Amino acid sequence: MPSLGKFHTDCVVRGKIHRLVFEIVNTKQKPLLGGAACTDLGLVKFTIPRELLPAEVNTIDASQSMPLTKEMLLKDFHDVFHDPIESVPGNIHFDLNPEVTPVQCSPRNVPVALKARVKEELDKHVKAGNLTPVTEPTAWISNMVTVAKPDKIRICIDPKPLNQALLRSHYHMPTLEDVLYKLPKARVFTLVDARDAFLQCKLDEESSRLTTFWTPWGRMRWLKLPFGVSVAPEIYQRKQHELLSGLAGIEPIADDILVVGCGDTDAEAEEDHNTNLRALMQRCRAVKLRLSERKLQFKLKAVHFHGHVLSTEGLKIDPEKTQAVLDMPTPTDAKAVQRMIGFVTYLAKFLPGLSEICEPLRRLLDKDTAWHWLTKHDDAIREIKRMVTNTPVLKYYDVTKPVTIQSSDTPYVRQAVCSMDSFQVEDSELDQAQHLDVTDFRFRQIAQHTEMDDVLQALTSVILRGWPDFKEDTPLLVREYWPFRDELNVQNSVLYRGQCVVIPKALRAELLRRIHTSHIGGEACYRRARDTLFWPNMRTEIKDYVSNCSACNEYARAQQKESLMSHDIPTRPWQTVSMDIFSYAGQDFIVLVDHYSDFWEIDLLPDLSADTLITRCKSQFYATDSQTKCSQIMAHSLPVNSSGSFLQSGDLTMSHPHPDIQNQTAKLSQLSR
């Protein structure tokens, strides 16, 4: 194929720039890389088959056989640790609630002493491509917040109104417990940290404008994911999982990335660790994820990770947490007690019997308990501090090994010890709980009725066969169990939802009666049953059963209604009158009802003075007959201190009857409105 010419150009492969020669040919075929170029780029490796090698020649992969040191790592992946921050693939988009009205906050002042440092930090962000000035109108404007860090000032925004308008993506945030079960054979650890993690995620244009904020030098907006936005942690965690998906031995939580080496021996674990770490570095180079050299913890037997220490032996308490407990002063008020209990509860997995030890301290938090610090409280504090200095090492849970749970043989299980291969793993406190003992007879009875229940038999078949992907494909008989499909299982012909027994329909009436034997309320009955029993709509059926209980209804506590005394029947119009005052459209009105004829009148009130009310009443009383005289007024509502004026205006009686008597007047007031 004749060549028409050639040219040199720079190409980027795996984060490195290579200058290649391209030949120009007249053909419709796709461009190809030559063998020499593929070799230079490391895309193709030419080797001689082992059977063709001389006997004295041995070939090894030097990069794999040599031990990986920190210096080698930083040299081979210098760009990952030292190149300027760029943007990882993909733009970030904020979803906004369209019903929320945009807010433009007023600017705040920056302390004079910090202005120079803040200006310097803003200029750095603009130069790095993280910020850009804004001159055009924007719907949202937040305020700036500066956070002092050990070596710099962090620029954040205070988007409180914006956070209320942003829609969360609800991404699962991993915790330490999501990592521990993967570490039974872990022997080597490396911990790396994403450098300015949020600033490696680029915002799209629409989302960037939402982050506009005030500075003393005008408005700016973020081009990268800013600190302070409520949805930022979830967005970054999802992005990091996407970037690092498929890598073995890699556990990212927040901006920390844990690299684990597992094996039966130290040599196997180190080889596994080196392979996993190199794979991580190559992935970071490919996606332009930059890491921090300063926070690198390289190839250690123990690392600090999210408030704990991960080691070859197992999970250990963080010495900083131990020292914090030892440095805590003796509490002087209830809030101090609450802070101490909350802190040590975080370490409860290392402190067997903590709940019992803290019980005297918890009693100080009761609402009706006066503050009295006694010797038993000092003893509890001393015991807690003694325990944190002598904590066990918790073995990592291994799903491949048998687990034995040992508990005290008491009516209520208070403590349990979980063991694997003779290693004590953890002492866990179990709260005292109500429970229903299931005898062998009752168990057989449930199993027999389950086999006779068509719905539960269909449910058993679905569980054993596997649930379909969509609810519409589920048989109608068992569709009501769809929300609980991940919790349902079958053991010895009995269905369970978690630890609760699924009750056949034929036994539910008897169990409802037994649950309500003590005639407690509906909620109390449900709380008693929900830990051991289950069937769909159980809560509703329990409440209906309790509400229809004849004994409960007969002796239910209720306010006694006294019988009402009827007033005398009037012998002429306007002798007895009911009166009410109401407001409508900013004006006050008076309603008068004649008990003799049920005739009623409404009149506008210029004010609510007693004189005005008396004048309006008399104008109604004497409208038809000047001899008409009212002897009793039953007033539903009167202005303050006006009763005396009514009594002085004539020979009549004032009364403020029970509201039930005034139903007619109240209804007329509502009708008039």
Q: pLDDT grade, residue 152 (50/70/90)?
A: confident
Query: What pLDDT sits at residue 619?
Result: 77
CB-based burial label for 665 (10 Å; 0-12, 13-18, 19+) = buried
* Predicted TM-score of the model (pTM): 0.53
Of residues 314 and 417, more confidence is placed in 314
Domain boundaries 576-672, corresponding CATH code? 3.30.420.10
Strand runs (DSSP E) across 343-466, as ranges?
404-407, 415-420, 423-429
Average pLDDT over residues 459-478: 87
pLDDT over threshold 50, residue 434:
no
Please state, in angstroms and rounded to a whole number, the distance separating the CA atoms of residues 125 and 131: 5
Which residue spans of the chain are classified as CATH 3.30.420.10? Answer: 576-672
Question: Residue 197 and residue 236: Cα distance in Å, rounded?
Answer: 8
User: What CA–CA distance (Å, rounded) separates 618 from 498?
Assistant: 76
CA distance linking residue 326 with residue 347, whole number of Å:
13
Distance, in Å, from the CA atom of 284 to the CA atom of 195, rounded to the nearest integer, reads 12
Beta strands in 250-403 (DSSP E): 250-253, 256-262, 297-300, 302-305, 308-311, 315-317
Task: Report the CATH number of the 440-554 domain.
Answer: 1.10.340.70
- Give the pair of three-digit tokens for residue 60: 């090894």
Burial (Cβ within 10 Å: 0-12, 13-18, ≥19) of residue 171: middle
Question: What's the Rg (C-alpha) of the chain?
Answer: 39
pLDDT of 482 over the 70 cut: yes
Q: How confident is the model at residue 624 (pLDDT cuts 50, 70, 90)?
A: low
Mean pLDDT of the chain: 81
Helices 375-388 and 334-345, packing angle to 10 deg = 30
Pick the closest to residue 222 from 237, 200, 239 (CA basis).
200
Is residue 53 pLDDT above 60, yes or no?
no
Superfamily of domain 319-433: Reverse transcriptase/Diguanylate cyclase domain (3.30.70.270)
What is the DSSP code (8-state) at residue 667? H
What percentage of residues in the chain have a pLDDT greater than 70? 78
Quick one: how far is CA 654 from the chain centroid?
A: 60
Task: Give the phi and the psi of residue 88 in degrees, each rounded to 5.
Answer: -70, 160
Listed in order, the ranges of the chain carrying CATH 3.30.70.270 are: 319-433
Q: What is the pLDDT of residue 409?
A: 42
Residue range(s) occupied by CATH 3.10.10.10 in the chain: 91-311
Q: Is residue 494 within 8 Å of residue 523, measured between CB atoms?
A: no
Supply the DSSP string of 136-157, one letter for each residue: S--S-BBEEEEEE-SSSEEEEE
* pLDDT bucket at 289, cuts 50 / 70 / 90: very high
Strands 315-317 and 308-311: antiparallel
Question: pLDDT: is 546 or 54 the higher one?
Answer: 546
Would you place residue 671 in the very low, low, confident or very high pLDDT band (cuts 50, 70, 90)?
low
Mean pLDDT for the stretch of residues 102-110: 88
Average the pLDDT over 543-566 and give the result.
76
CATH architecture of 91-311: Roll (3.10)
pLDDT at 652: 56
572 and 658 in contact (C-beta within 8 Å)?
no
pLDDT tier for residue 54 given thresholds of 50, 70 and 90: very low
Distance CA 67, CA 120 (A): 43
pLDDT confidence bin for 281, thresholds 50/70/90: very high
Q: Calculate ∠ Cα 233-237-238, nearest 5°.
A: 120
**CA distance readout (Å), 45 to 310, 348, 349, 619:** 39, 55, 52, 113
8 A C-beta contact, residue 237 and residue 174: yes
pLDDT of res. 584: 83
Chain region(s) in the chain for CATH 1.10.340.70: 440-554
Query: Which amino acid is located at 638 in the chain?
Result: L
Alpha-helical (H) ranges within 211-265 are: 232-243
Give the tens place of pLDDT for each residue, 371-414.
888 899 999 999 999 998 888 888 888 877 776 665 544 333 34
